[in-house]
Amino acid sequence: MMLEHEGAIRSNQDPLATPLLASKAQGSPAFDSTQFDDFIRFFLNLNLGQKTTKRSLPGIVIKELLMLYWFEKSQSLTVIDIKNTLPIDPKLIDRLLAYFLRCGTYRVVGDQLLPTTHQIEKIRNILIASDAPFTETDDRFGFRVKDPLFSTVSQYSLMHLPFEGKLSGQYHRADMVLWRSLFNRPKFCLSSHDIATKARIPKSTLSTLLETARVLEFVTQQKDPNDCRVLRWRLNPLHPTFHLKAALFRGAFFANPYFANPYVDYRLPGAAKPLQHASAL
């Protein structure tokens, strides 16, 4: 038996019930995709429930691979599958899987790793809170998502894996807010306050995350032309992951997978005339 779920009515008491992003930005968006909005809300809510330190990226990548197989492909997988798929030290994979087993993330049937009831309910609740559509199933996985949520999350996190120890998993939320801004209002930069509010990151923590990302050249900064005390942020189109992420998001959630945006100024801020700014995404 399969039941269609298009986003249940969210409880007012649910802390995740409030959408992290409005469905529309002020003005006409350059690129609009309801699926991408669903993905952004889901991603931020999922990340809020993850352990997100500078050393947590391998664990995040392993969990997201498991969820990709369970909730998008409706397939189980083995420890060998994980080791053959991910560029992570096999000994570290063993240690992390042992920890996840103790935490109740999965159960073992033969050599197959399957989600526990707790894990199924946890992810289902995140999907409901995010208005992300899924279909209930009567198999061992409980449901199946309709959009490529987990495959996109998994590929995205893999791009950050080489920066383990430098880039915190919490930065993912800030990065995703900047991506939503880029697609919706390409010529606008966001202030730290804008990002902190949308990503639900304390401003003091965000300052450290953004400075690290700037040193790693994920983002660029410029002073607000109207207030030199305010820094504005945008993604750096010269970073090696920029076009990979752009192609990933466009291919998964937009009708035209080719990322060619005539409104994006690919010169670094400072080399171009001052860009416009907006507080709203």
Domains, the chain, ordered by start: 33-155 (1.10.10.10), 170-277 (1.10.10.10)
pLDDT for 263 equals: 34
Mean pLDDT of 105-132: 96
Res. 105: pLDDT tops 70:
yes
pLDDT for 32 equals: 56
Nearest Cα residue to 72 out of 167, 137, 12: 137
At 156, is the pLDDT very low, low, confident or very high (cuts 50, 70, 90)?
Answer: very high
**Backbone phi and psi for residue 94, each to the nearest 5 degrees, phi listed first:** -60, -45
The answer to whether the CB of 155 falls within 8 A of the CB of 249 is: no
Which of 41-50, 110-119, 271-280 is predicted least confidently?
Answer: 271-280
Tokens of 233: 């942020």
Which of 72-81, 108-117, 149-158, 264-273 is predicted least confidently?
Answer: 264-273
Res. 74: pLDDT tops 90:
yes
> What is the C-alpha separation between 22 and 219, in angstroms, rounded?
23
Could you write out the DSSP letters of every residue in 113-132? EEE-HHHHHHHHHHHHHTT-
Mean pLDDT of 94-105: 96
